[in-house]
Amino acid sequence: MLSISNLNKTYANGVHAIKNISLEIPNGLFGLLGPNGAGKSSLMRTIATLQEPDTGSISFHGLDVLKEKEALRRQLGYLPQDFGVYPKVTAEDLLNHFAVLKGISQRAVRKEMIEALLRQTNLWEARKRALGTFSGGMRQRFGIAQALIGAPKLVIVDEPTAGLDPDERNRFLNLLSEIGENVVIILSTHIVADVTDLCPRMAMIGKGEVLVQGAPQSAIDTLKNKIWRKSITKTELPEYQKQFNVLATRLVGGKPQINVFAESQPDDGFKMVEPDLEDVYFLQLRASQQSSMTAANAVTR
């Protein structure tokens, strides 16, 4: 169990990136969902001991993370959002280098472990290839391989599927699912489908605050019988956005189709639809934005 309590972080430029966050994260895949700039990466870096919080505490299986950083790092696997590689080095050689840095000194142990990781990430056949020749999905799978060196008990992956094509995304998510049974894996993403498809528990973050946490289906159930859909014309869209709580707009056959949150049918032509996590996501972000605007207006007065 990873326990985060009352965590806060404000940067020198005044940005309050983490606002009193408290989370209980058990073994398995945990989704951390939010838009770019929501504070996800700041939270990940703090958990990974790459930066200090201003206040709060983090514990992992009884370990005080903020006081025992080295002990946490020995149990940590981390795939940051911008994972760089040496383009002319082979996958096998770079994994060996990382293993040495992690303190795995016996050559035979390293060799056995590296082979197992390359096979697990489906990179064994490409082990002699330079990393600069890898596709985006292969590089991400290599990133997971390096994160799993030393059998970590806590794995953090930050925006791992951004930019991947559908096939590579599926391969990567299947890989995370396989390794997530016995360790804590935090999947930080702005892609709602990644959390819906993979995570039994999640938290939504906006402007540094936890907006919702728990099981994705529980969050979805709160919108039961409250999501309405209608196809409209492009010229009608601004007026509908003024009148109703429009959560999402997508083009279907070149024509806007809107999802609206309402306790009852907004007007003729709307049909009730089953909610999904995307509806929860947009509703919470909209509420967070309105709250921030209200607070800002109160300050300016």
CA distance 186 to 108: 31
Own/partner contacts of 43-47, CB < 8 Å, gap of 24 or more, are 43/4, 43/7, 43/18, 43/188, 43/205, 44/80, 44/156, 44/158, 44/186, 44/188, 46/7, 46/9, 46/18, 47/2, 47/4, 47/154, 47/156, 47/186
Sign for the CA dihedral angle at 234, 235, 239, 240 comes to negative
Asked if 240 and 258 touch (Cβ cutoff 8 Å), the reply is yes
Instruction: Indicate the pLDDT class of residue 301, thresholds 50, 70 and 90.
Output: low
> Three-state DSSP class for 67?
coil
- The pLDDT of residue 169 is above 90: no
What does pLDDT average to over the chain? 90
Contact indicator for 83, 162 with CB cutoff of 8 Å: no
Q: Which fold has domain 2-213?
A: Rossmann fold (3.40.50)
DSSP 93-130: HHHHHHHHHTT---HHHHHHHHHHHHHHTT-GGGTTSB
Per-residue confidence (pLDDT) for residue 294, from 0 to 100? 55
pLDDT digits (tens, 9 = 90+) for 19-58: 999 999 999 999 999 988 899 999 999 999 999 999 999 9
Name the pLDDT band for 179 (thresholds 50, 70, 90): confident
pLDDT of residue 113: 95
Q: Which has the closest alpha carbon to 172: 153, 189, 184? A: 189
Q: Whole-angstrom Cα distance, residue 82 to residue 206? A: 21
Q: In percent, how much of the chain has pLDDT > 70?
A: 96
Query: What pLDDT, in 10s, does the model give residues 228-253?
Result: 999 999 999 999 999 999 999 999 88
Task: State the DSSP code for 194.
Answer: H
CATH 3.40.50.300 domain residues, the chain: 2-213
Per the CB < 8 A criterion, the answer to whether 26 and 177 are in contact is no
CA distance 250 to 255: 8
At 111, the pLDDT band (50, 70, 90 cuts) reads very high
Stated pTM of the model: 0.86
Tokens of 87: 């383009």
- Please tell me the predicted confidence (pLDDT) of residue 116: 93
Check residue 42 and give its pLDDT.
Answer: 93
